[in-house]
Amino acid sequence: MPGPSVPLPLPFTVRPPRGVVERVLRLALIGAGVLTVLLGIVIAPLPGPFGVPVMAVGLIIILRNSYRAKRWFVRAVRRFPRLAPLRRVMRPGAPVGAMAWHQALKVERFFVQARTSRFATRLRKRVAKRLVRA
pLDDT tens for residues 14-47? 666 678 888 899 999 999 999 999 999 998 888 8
CA–CA distance, 106 with 100 (Å, rounded to integer): 10
Domain boundaries, the chain: 18-82, 95-134
Q: Kindly report, residue by residue over 49-79, the tens digit of the pLDDT.
A: 788 888 888 988 898 888 898 888 888 888 8
The string of DSSP letters for 73-123 reads HHHHHHH-GGGHHHHHHHSTT--HHHHHHHHHHHHHHHH---GGG-HHHHH
pTM over 0.75: no
Q: What is the pLDDT of residue 78?
A: 85
Residue type, 11: P
pLDDT tens across 77-124, in order? Answer: 888 877 776 667 666 777 767 777 777 777 777 776 666 566 666 777
Could you give phi then psi for residue 12, rounded to 5 degrees?
A: -70, 125
Q: 1 falls in which pLDDT band (50, 70, 90)?
A: low
d(CA 75, CA 63): 13
